[in-house]
Each structure stands twice: as C-alpha cells, then as structure tokens.
Amino acid sequence: MSTQTIENLQADFELLDDWEERYRYVIELGRLLPPLDEKFRIPQYKVSGCASQVWIHAQHNGSVLTFVGDSDALIVKGLIAITFMIFSGKTPAQILALDAQAIFAKLGLKDHLTPQRSNGLASMVARIKADARQVLAA
C-alpha cells in the first residue's frame, strides 16, 4: 500500500471501465489500510464534517508526516487511503502546498461522489492541513 502513488492510482482508474469498478477498487484500497490502534479512536482524532465516523492521526517522523486512520464506512476508508497517498510522507510545507481538490478532480472523484462524501473528503484534507500547520508552528 505504501508504494501506491496517485499516478499509479490514476493509471489503474483508467484501466477500469466504469465507476462501479472504480468504487470497488477504492473499497479495496480501504481494506488495505492497517488497523487503527484503539487509542486513536477518541474525539481528539475524530474528523468533524464527515457523515461517517472518521479518525485521522498524524505522526511526525523526522521532517515528514505520516498518517493513520479509519472509518466505519468501507468507501470512506478507501477515500482515506487515497488521501494518505496524496499527503503521507511529505513535509508540512509540501502538505500545505498541495491542491488535493485538483487531484480528486483529476481522478474523477469530484464528479462521482455524493455532495456529502465530497464534504467529508474536504474535511479530511482540512484536518491533515491543520495537523501540518500545527507541526510548523511547534
């Protein structure tokens, strides 16, 4: 999973004929997320603005941030995995400079998610960027 890149994901999406297949692929990405330690399933790590329950924890490893997370909804777990592909392993400055919405649009997610899921995805990105700002301010 950690070797999967957004470029690989985009190429894989292009091989899939329709969005039903892509949704199944996104769900499979979510299944590949490592289990989230119960100590991170607390309000401090819960992402507000998501219809499903979502927890994201940022880990500062040297100069980069990595993320762990989970959701109670399979498709959302897959969206978490995609979000981590974009941001994990980057410095806080790189995270803040990334335009995740443009990447989601390029993948076609913007046009194929419900407004509620799109809002949840935006909330996850906002949380990750807030974590990056917090590390920079420390």
Task: Match domain 6-137 to its CATH number in 3.20.20.80, 1.10.10.10, 3.50.50.60, 3.90.1010.10.
Answer: 3.90.1010.10
Structure tokens at 118: 């799109």
Give residue 29's Cα distance to chain centre: 11
Residues with a known catalytic role = 50
Q: Looking at the chain, how many residues does it have?
A: 138
pLDDT of residue 2: 44
pLDDT of residue 3: 59
Domain boundaries, the chain: 6-137
pLDDT tens track of the chain, all 138 residues? 445 788 899 899 989 989 999 999 999 999 999 999 999 999 999 999 888 999 999 999 889 999 999 999 999 999 999 999 999 999 999 999 999 999 999 999 888 998 899 999 999 999 999 999 999 998
- Decide: residue 127, CB within 10 A, 0-12 exposed, 13-18 middle, 19+ buried: buried
Cα–Cα distance measured from residue 6 to residue 119, given in angstroms and rounded to the nearest whole number: 20
Cα–Cα distance measured from residue 70 to residue 79, given in angstroms and rounded to the nearest whole number: 10
pLDDT of residue 62: 86
Q: Give the bridge partners for 58, in sequence order.
A: 67
